[in-house]
Amino acid sequence: MENNEKKASASSKLANCLVLSYPAQGHINPLLLFSKRLERKGIKVTIVTTYFISKSLHRDPSSSISIALETISDGYDKGGSAQAESDQAYVDRFWQIGLQTLTELVERMNDVDCIVFDSFLPWALDVAKKFGLTGAAFLTQSCAVAAIYHHVNKGLIKLPLIGDEVLLPGLPPLDPQDTPSFINDSASYPAFFDMIVTRQVSNIDKADWILCNTFYELEKEVIK
């Protein structure tokens, strides 16, 4: 009887999923909406953001959402990215300190089953693998944008852009100015170009799942 009760208790345990977002509104919102969907499926969800961003978040006391909030450090707890010496300094320090503090958070919680991480933060997959957890990369930008970054990363789009059109499978012909600013003028934000085009996909092939933020009916061909 006791063994059966233990088995029943284990089988009824809610899966616990950490959802880690890059600390910017355009990334937090898609992952928050995704977290709400997970919760409706009966999954226990904990959103993870930086100390600095957490100070600006306000929970509606009348909301029925029970999503928990935890914080990690990006190395700039008082001012976030604005406190950093440069964009490159922020990206590099967040990689170092974020990995360390996320590891400490998983150790402290001790009941995490999965980490869904913003693809801008690929080091989170290293944490998931360290603890034997499921790791899912979440591409917060549209599939069309992700496809452009992918083709640049693979060398299928040569930079700087030359010519009147950019031709990609599944997408209509694009003018150079139709591409993301990181691509159209790759020298404008070198730190973020490296993070988005190179680091974002550095280990994505090792993720257990790759999730995309898309309106399928509008992006059928590029998704294929």
Q: Name the residues annotated as catalytic.
A: 27, 118
How many whole angstroms separate alpha carbon 112 and alpha carbon 130?
12
Q: Give bridge partners of residue 17 from the DSSP assignment.
A: 45, 114
Number of CB atoms found within 10 A of residue 13's CB: 10
Please provide the distance, in angstroms rounded to a whole number, between the alpha carbons at the two ends of the chain: 51
Q: Quick one: 67 exposed, middle or buried, by C-beta within 10 A (0-12, 13-18, 19+)?
A: middle
- Specify whether the CB–CB gap between 18 and 112 falls below 8 A: yes
How many whole angstroms separate alpha carbon 115 and alpha carbon 40?
18
- Specify whether the CB–CB gap between 135 and 208 falls below 8 A: yes
How many residues are there in the chain? 224
